[in-house]
A and B are shown apart, each in its own frame.
Chain A
Amino acid sequence: DTGVSQNPRHKITKRGQNVTFRCDPISEHNRLYWYRQTLGQGPEFLTYFQNEAQLEKSRLLSDRFSAERPKGSFSTLEIQRTEQGDSAMYLCASSLGGGRITEAFFGQGTRLTVV
């Protein structure tokens, strides 16, 4: 399967714990995005990378959230000291980008439940 892969698919954690999610984009895609989606809402932009550089991070994102994309390949999203409000589906997408954005391919997502 050459699509976007996310792991784990589901994560249940206790409030206050740290969690880390992984995203493997389509191999030739230089852009990688993280979105968060709650029930009945559209995907909310969190951050994006062009190659290994994190070019933008949502102002809505607290300092507890950090993302990396070492070597411009896979990416990780870490949430420290999780809160119940962090419960959501975390979606990763990748695309080819230079100037204008192109089609974004989404992974299946990681569903986080904070108890």
Chain B
Amino acid sequence: GQQVMQIPQYQHVQEGEDFTTYCNSSTTLSNIQWYKQRPGGHPVFLIQLVKSGEVKKQKRLTFQFGEAKKNSSLHITATQTTDVGTYFCAGGSSYGGATNKLIFGTGTLLAVQP
């Protein structure tokens, strides 16, 4: 079945350092979404990428979707303590021309030391 892997599993940074997490799918995706889950919380939507090679920015966060639509990355510039949490990518799975479900990646836990 379709698998979505993320690396690294865990990243510890000093506040102000940059952070990147990478997402790889075993199959071509129709779209990719990114979610953030704070400790003890539920996943919260950050962004969706649809087009091959697409790049989107949200303040200090930069999201990329690979040309082959099988990988993606999230880069955070100058991390802050509020960035702490687990970042999940979620690939859209297509069936019959429609994207029916999200397959979540394994997640990257980000710890930020003040």
Docked complex: A37-89 residues within 8 A CB-CB of B: 40-45, 48, 55-56, 59
Given A100-B30, A108-B42, residue A48 in contact with residue B88 (CB < 8 A): no
> Is A21 in the interface zone, CB < 8 Å from B?
no
- The one of A35, A43, A101 in contact with B31, judged by C-beta atoms closer than 8 angstroms, is A101
Distance A99 CA – B30 CA, assembled complex (angstroms): 11
Q: Are B100 and A48 in contact (CB under 8 A)?
A: yes
Please encode chain B, from 3 to 24, with 1 for each CB lying within 8 Å of some chain A CB and 0 for all others. 0101000000000000000000
Chain B contact residue count (CB 8 A cutoff): 29
Residues of chain A contacted by B6 (CB below 8 angstroms): 42
Q: Are B101 and A33 in contact (CB under 8 A)?
A: yes
> Is B73 in the interface zone, CB < 8 Å from A?
no
Q: Are A41 and B42 in contact (CB under 8 A)?
A: no
- Residues of B bordering A, CB below 8 Å: 1, 4, 6, 30-31, 33, 41-45, 48, 50, 88, 90, 92, 95, 97-107, 109
